[in-house]
Structure 1
Amino acid sequence: MGLPKERLFLVIRTALYALIFLLGMFIFSPLSLQMNVHDGNCILYAERNSDYPSKSNCNFCIAIGVLFCFIYGGLMTIIGALRLLEIISDSEKFKGVLFIVNVVVDAVSMFLVLVTASILSAGLKAVCDSFTPVGYHCRDIFLIVNSSGEHDTFYNNLAIAEGGAWICFIAWIVQTVLGVFIMYRNNIIRIPCLKNSSSTDIPGPSADGNKY
């Protein structure tokens, strides 16, 4: 016997939040480490023979990874697990105002993670294009840290953050689409081009008989 649909939806959403929680660490941890190597500076969009670019690019990506993936994803994972274990009440069954707010926050998170992934991809490409000689791959080069003279092979850290952000974005797409589908299924929202079979009205006979 299969799981009830509401419980199955809860299992899937909780698993997705757990995945997002883990992927958040792959976004902010490598970026934080990279900034520490360069004394708190951000190398995204760095160019040869120029000062460090603005820290805001890295700070934004770290903030989104921490707030909307690690903290929010972790919190929703815990709430979902407690609901599955019936430690906290699950009376709303995806029909209350809190669930609508939940889906809206999911959609906002999806958009912000898309921006984060785009910043990381464009920033890493700019660094590689600026510093990689012809015939070499970006992973083979290094930057020299101004303060210490250390050699920083930056590519792996930034590539991990970039990959984590794009996978996280895909997870957020699935989570958001699933949330919207549940809202549609529970008649919270209506999509004009679709008909919900559970709420279709079937016309009955006219009270006046057959009238023409």
Structure 2
Amino acid sequence: MDVSNFLLLVNIFVYFVIVSCGFAISNSLGVSRISSGGCLLSSTLKPYNSGIYLLVYSNKFNCEFPIYSGVIFCIFYALGMAIYNLYTINKAQRDPSIVSQMWVFPFILLNSVVTVLMLVASCMVSVGFKELCDSLTKAKHKYYPSCIEAENQNLQLLPTKETTSTGRFYTLINNTQNASWICTVCWLVLVIFGIVQFVLNRRQKTHARQEVNEPNQYRTDVEVKNLRHI
């Protein structure tokens, strides 16, 4: 199999991995936000009264940015790129030169930007998750021996005094964190593969030009010899 076609197949696989992780990011963090009534990333748990705790939610942007990044970049954009690469592979069965003609450099730049944005989103999830767990396990009152043991605990919110549950926040946010970092690594891999593909395409185009010019040069040399004989 041609190296360029192999790279395209690998790209398609990586894009579908990203799509799967995108669903994990948006669904897990979205469910956590809905079930707890707010964004738990960077949230804190504080004592209020005997057996009553005050759950202080963080800014909703802490959850919205990773969720929207997962939907826009890891689902819609990655799925579109997977389809584009599948289409190119299909066209290459009839015309192998189509692979060297496909756009590469613009997608290297775009994927680089997406990599940076996903890195930011992953850091937001990891830092926010750590701050939440630290407030539950390492704060002055040490409410729970471990973060996972704080799952499915009843909390009373103030000032409404509504009762809510922490739900499966640890499992959901941990899934979001893992999927987000996998996405970030995958985007970085795609940038590297894109650079390799760009170099291969340039070489193929240069080689094709040389093959076209060599016969012309040969004909020119023959014509010069004929003129000398005349």
Same fold per superposition (TM over 0.5): yes
**Alpha-carbon separation, structure 2, partners of 1:173 and 1:13:** 12
* Unaligned segments of structure 1, at least 5 residues: 189-212
Q: Give 1:76's aligned residue.
A: 81
**Greater helix fraction, Structure 1 or Structure 2:** 2
- Tell me, what secondary structure is at the counterpart of 1:115? helix
Once the two structures are TM-superposed, the CA of residue 107 in structure 1 deviates from its matched residue by 0.8
Which region of structure 1 is more displaced relative to structure 2, 172-181 or 79-88? 79-88
Counterpart for residue 34 of structure 1: 32
Residue in structure 1 matched with residue 187 of structure 2 by the alignment: 172
Distance 2:80 2:43 in 1: 35
The structure with the larger Rg is: 2
Q: Which amino acid aligns with 2:169?
A: F
Task: Give the aligned partner of residue 50 of structure 2.
Answer: none
Note closer, same or farther for the CA distance 1:60–1:151 as it changes in structure 2 (3 Å cut). closer
Partner of 1:67: 72
Please report how far the alpha carbon of residue 32 of structure 1 lies from its aligned counterpart in structure 2 after TM superposition.
Answer: 0.6
Q: Distance in 1 between matches of 2:201 and 2:90?
A: 23
| 1:127-169 superposed Cα distances (whole Å, 9 cap, x missing partner) | 0000123872211113536344334231000000000011111
C-alpha distance in 2, partners of 1:122/1:38? Answer: 19
Amino acid at match of 2:40: I
**TM-score, length-normalised on structure 1?**
0.78
- Give, as a single letter, the amino acid of the residue that structure 2 aligns with 1:45: S
Partner residue in 1 for 2:90: 85
Alignment partner of 2:107 out of 102, 113, 117: 102
Tell me if the contact between 2:69 and 2:121 (Cα under 8 Å) persists in the aligned partners: yes
Q: Tell me the residue number matched to 2:213.
A: none
C-alpha separation in 1, matches of 2:26 and 2:119: 15
From the superposition, tell whether residues 60 and 101 of structure 1 become closer, same or farther in structure 2 (CA, over 3 Å): same
TM-superposition CA deviations, 1:101-149 (whole Å, max 9, x none): 1111111111111111111110000000001238722111135363443
Distance in 2 (CA, whole Å) between partners of 1:56 and 1:94 is 42
Offset of residue 95 of structure 1: 4.6
Q: Which residue of 2 aligns with 1:152?
A: 167
1:16 aligns with 2:32: no
Superposed counterparts of 1:37-56, under 5 Å: 37-39=35-37, 41-49=38-46, 51-56=56-61
Instruction: Say what the alpha-carbon RMSD is for the aligned residues.
Output: 2.9
Show the counterpart of 1:187. 202
Q: CA 1:178/1:151 → structure 2, altered by over 3 Å: closer, same or farther?
A: closer
Percent identity, aligned pairs only?
23
C-alpha distance 7-54 of structure 1, shift in aligned 2 (>3 A): same
Give the gaps of 5 or more residues in structure 2.
47-54, 204-230
